[in-house]
Amino acid sequence: MPSKPALSDLNFIVIPLLSTSHLIPLTDMAKLLAQHGVTVTLVTTPLNAARFTASIDRAVRSGLLIRVVELQFRAKEAGLPEGCENQNAAPGLNYRRQFVAAINMLQEPTEKLLREMKPKPSCIISDAYVAWTAETADKFQIPRIVFDGMSCFTQMCMHSLYIMRDQNQLPESGPFVIPDLPDRIEITKAQLPGHFNPGAISIQDIRDKIRAAEERSFGFVINTFEELEQRYVDKFRKLKNGRVWCLGPLSLCNNDDLDKAQRGNKASFDKDDNLKKWLDSWQPESVVYACFGSLGRITVKQFVELALGLEGSGYPFILVIKTGEGQAPIEDWISKNGFEERTKARGLLIRGWAPQVLILSHPAIGGFLTHCGWNSTVEGISAGVPMITWPLFAEQFLNERFLVHVLKMAAGVGSQALVHLGEEEKFEVQVSNKVVTDAIKKVMDKEKEGNEMRKRAQQLGEMAKRAVEGDGSTHLNVTLLIKEIQEFQLKQSAKNSCAKVCDALF
């Protein structure tokens, strides 16, 4: 009978989608697994690897068995500009299919790599959007574990919504309640993700392939912790035959400020800049941090309302501003209006990438104005910071419902409709500066409703930190996942040994 493989003989292959918001949590997950003694191989491309090389190198020097394998990304062959290796760098949504085609071209070199790899691959932890990994896992007779960057709450919302869609029960207009959930969650079709509310560019065939591959998966890893959404974890686990492992908050595997600062990309200022000094100059819980994530974009008119809303609140603020294509009108307004100069005494504008986890963990931050992407949501929860919610696209309206109605640690700005990526000009202004100001004041007020939100946020932040400690739920889940893969490999070895004996006898 084969013996149980040693931890270091287990090789977890991690394959992220080449998009910043997907790379970051899966890189964190690779480090988390390696911290538990297994070998981890992260498969990506050169330009994406460069985003987290420093952090991984530090992890390797500390003794972790983690390595990064770089594969050539055939951008030009797929019809993309040369050097376009990340979804965030694609010229526009019209290139979405070309980007998927280039991702698919990675299957053959990945499989060649896996055939030659030592230790042999034990499982694949794959981003849900890299659907071909289902076929690869079958070829190598190893489990494929899916990561799709959503909470268990949102997974259960999506499950119910798929049933409603398949039965033609989704109302075209007006609010409706999502059925079969532990909480009353009301939403409109206009606020649903593209699976149920498609944009101008249809990619339903791609979504169908992703969903079909998910249905074949061995299990799911989720960037959450059990105490945050236990009822939804239980329901999702029941739906997936028990194979759901909550490994979050993944951002908390970064313990020092350098790891936090270099997480995901190079900040738009160097580490000697005065960001920390600026934050240190403010009272605890007095600053509003506003950021719409790596993909979120708004029109110049909507940006004006956001900027004036922050200014009108009277609170000091950090505002993260996108750089690159399409941002010239916003910079033009900032200059002509004198906004940056006028607010410089209490406002800090960060252009490009901001070290979000580092900022949120600073005591001066008292509120987080967010687009409700799940990475940002769970990072805000981990920091114990109440939120001002402004969902834009994807499943972000569902995340907002979770923050506002289930966790009760946030207030919304009242955005009414989802804006698909690339279609921002269709909705020039949904939210006025007065509403932004009112929502900020509601959350930052320490005397009334904001005080209850702050208490709740701080309680959840403490729960998040306990989850990743040695006796916490996340630590236990990582241990259980590794044990599951050990047992799978043991059974597979026994099966193969039996087959060899049978072949020899007959």
Across residues 54-78, what is the average pLDDT?
94
Q: Mean of the per-residue pLDDT values for the chain?
A: 93
pLDDT at residue 273, rounded to an integer? 64
- pLDDT reported for residue 499: 62
| pLDDT band, very low/low/confident/very high, at 271 (cuts 50, 70, 90) | very low
Q: What is the mean pLDDT of residues 67-96?
A: 90
CA–CA distance, 437 with 289 (Å, rounded to integer): 13
Residue 250: which of 381, 388, 410, 393 has the closest Cα?
A: 381
pLDDT reported for residue 88:
87
pLDDT of residue 424 exceeding 90: no
DSSP of 26-62: HHHHHHHHHTTT-EEEEEE-HHHHTTTHHHHHHHHHT
- 14 pLDDT above the threshold of 60: yes
**Residue 245: pLDDT band by 50, 70, 90 thresholds?**
very high
Looking at residue 412, its pLDDT comes to 98
The two three-digit tokens of residue 466, written as one number: 């306990």
Q: Tell me the whole-structure pTM to 2 decimals.
A: 0.94
| Rounded mean pLDDT, 9-19 | 97
Residue 1: exposure state from Cβ atoms within 10 A (0-12, 13-18, ≥19): exposed
Number of neighbouring beta carbons within 10 Å of residue 404: 17
Of the residues 28, 127, 148, 438, only one is catalytic, namely 127
Q: Any catalytic annotation for residue 405? A: no
Is the link from the previous residue into 249 a cis peptide, with omega within 30 of 0? yes
CB contact at 8 A, 316 and 284: no
At residue 262 the predicted structure's pLDDT band, cuts being 50, 70 and 90, is: low
pLDDT at 265 (0 to 100): 61
Q: Could you give the percent of the chain with pLDDT greater than 90?
A: 82
> Coil, strand, or helix at residue 238?
helix
257 φ/ψ angles, rounded to the nearest 5 degrees:
-60, -30
Can you give the pLDDT at residue 474?
98
> What pLDDT is attached to residue 314?
97
Distance CA 134, CA 128 (A): 9
Q: What is the arithmetic mean of pLDDT over 25-32?
A: 96
Q: Is 22 a catalytic residue?
A: yes
Query: What's the average model confidence in pLDDT over 387-402?
Result: 97
pLDDT in the model for residue 272: 39
- Distance, in Å, from the CA atom of 106 to the CA atom of 118, rounded to the nearest integer, reads 20
Amino acid making up residue 296:
G
Domains annotated on the chain, with CATH = 7-252+470-505 (3.40.50.2000), 266-466 (3.40.50.2000)
> CA–CA distance from 71 to each of 59, 66, 105, 108, 137 (Å)?
21, 17, 10, 10, 18
- 506, pLDDT greater than 70: no
Q: Give me the sign of the Cα torsion angle 378, 381, 382, 385.
A: positive
Check pLDDT > 60 for residue 379. yes
Q: Which residue out of 22, 362, 371, 475 is catalytically annotated? A: 22
Relative to beta strand 317-321, strand 287-291 is parallel
Lowest-confidence pick of 323-327, 368-372, 440-444:
323-327
pLDDT tens digits, 121-180: 999 999 999 999 999 999 999 999 999 999 999 999 999 999 999 999 999 999 999 999
pLDDT, tens only, 93-136: 678 899 999 999 999 999 999 999 999 999 999 999 999 999 99
Phi, psi (degrees; rounded to nearest 5) at 389: -100, 130
Of 11-20, 80-89, 108-117, 367-376, the range with the lowest mean pLDDT is 80-89
* Average pLDDT for 306-312: 98
What percentage of residues in the chain have a pLDDT greater than 70? Answer: 94
pLDDT given for residue 270 in this prediction: 47
Residue 219 in contact with residue 245, Cβ under 8 Å?
yes
